[in-house]
Amino acid sequence: MKNIAPVRKLWTAFKSMKTGLGLLALLIIFSGLGSVLTSDIYRSPGFKFILVLLALNLLSCNLTRAKGVWQKTFRPVLPRSAADVPQNLHGKISGESAELSRRLEQAARRRGYRVWRSADRPAAAWSLVAVKRRLGYWGTFAAHLAFVLLLLGAQIGTLGFSGRLTVLSGETRPLADLVVESGAVNKDYAIHVNSVEDRFLPGGERDNWYTDLSVTRDDSLLARGVLSVNSPFSYDGVAYYQSSYQEFAAVQLNRGDEFLLPLSGAVDAAEASQRLDHLFGWPLGETDYLVKAVKARSEGGVYLRLERSDGTAVGEDQAYLLREGETGEFGPGLQLTYLRLTQATGLIVKADPGLALVWFACGLLSLGLLAAFYYQPLRLAAIYTAAGAAGVLSLGLDAGKNPSPAASGELAALLAELTPEGGTEVKQCSCT
């Protein structure tokens, strides 16, 4: 038994609130370092160890409280003497035992209380407990449990993956092509982009970017959906988020190789030359040439400028407007043909197996906090003791450490219902 005592002391210290606050402080420090230095801290063994200790601390606190909360909710302890009656709000009434018992029980039930009373005992001594809003006792319990589930869900989420992928309209890319930011891709799907649209409202304001996307495996369609910014598409635990939109001009050099050129924002002729001056050129394959491109706002084509890698112009230093299918002569033996406009969608792809648990924990946390702060239980305890012909009923209302005026009014209303017309004087005391 002597060997058990130190272990019991250590366990008592571990499950205390002080230990929980200390672990929470460590977690905040490590999280701050992760935000400032590197996010790898969040995946370090030390950070995960702190999370495990904090979860165990919260869980042990909950298990310690569970028995008491259960008893308060379903098997409240009846007072054995007037000293067991809550003292924050209490009062006394003199009267006949059976009449006071009947009035008190009826009044409590009318006001929504669940009533427990002592078994049949002599009229000279009986006690009663009535509880209103019993589920409020579980508010703190639910909040603590929610934190444990949040930590668990976050750790389960590390088993998933997250990455980025840019896909052209009409193109099919396997998920294995993701630029992985965390985790490892464990799905053998492919993504086919059916269409990409930069949609505008009738007034000219941008509506949203839309991507019509199919999930396939071995050329078999598994799912299809449309996603946009703030409206992801999900299949089999994998969520696809619209993160960007890009337009490209497909051009052909000297009727040979085809290249995709990222397009800058749409401009008109007056802006074209100025915009091209500030753009970076894109290489044309293995050649010594760079090309700049912007989208024509109303002409239905693109403005192009060709230059050498050292920045010197090829031909006249000007922007050429080419419409689909047109070819521009940029110098002796240098022809660029504008083939078509194509779009690409930028996707963020995430698989988070712990997400459902995290959302459940968030809901449980919200309910727990609401119950703890706005659904506080009221416990009425009463005991009757004989004192001559008419005994005395002592009763008190437990409404937390700082009873509200509404709680005082609740007890006053109960006392008013217990006072017979023209009966004895009611004495009510409110103390802290």
Specify whether 232 is located in the same domain as 358. yes
Structure tokens, 334: 């240098």
Domain membership of residue 299 (yes or no) is yes
* Contact present, 235 and 223 (Cβ < 8 Å): yes
Average pLDDT, the chain: 84
Q: Average pLDDT, stretch 402-431? A: 66
Q: Which domain holds residue 332?
A: 247-342
Q: What distance in Å separates the CA atoms of residue 230 and residue 137, rounded to the nearest whole number? A: 38
272-329 residue pLDDT tens: 777 887 888 888 777 788 888 888 877 778 888 888 877 676 766 567 888 899 988 8
Specify whether 252 is located in the same domain as 313. yes
Total domains, the chain: 4
Q: Quote the pTM value.
A: 0.69
Domain membership of residue 149 (yes or no) is no
180-226 residue pLDDT tens: 988 889 899 999 999 999 988 988 788 999 999 999 998 899 999 99
- Give the SS3 label for residue 129: strand
Domain membership of residue 138 (yes or no) is no
pLDDT at 122: 54
Lowest mean pLDDT among 7-16, 67-76, 409-418: 7-16
Strands 264-267 and 289-296: parallel
Q: Residues near 159 by Cβ (< 8 Å), separated by ≥ 6?
A: 183, 353, 354
Taking each helix axis from N to C end, the angle separating 4-14 and 45-74, rounded to the nearest 10 degrees, works out to 90
What are the backbone angles phi and psi of residue 153, rounded to the nearest 5°? -60, -40
pLDDT(430) > 60: no
pLDDT(368) > 70: yes
Structure tokens, 178: 């993701």
Q: What is the dihedral of CA 313, 316, 317, 323, to 10 degrees?
A: -110
Domain membership of residue 291 (yes or no) is yes
Partnered with residue 103 across adjacent β-strands are none
pLDDT(238) > 70: yes
Structure tokens, 268: 């008109």
Specify whether 284 is located in the same domain as 325. yes
Q: Average pLDDT, stretch 63-75? A: 88
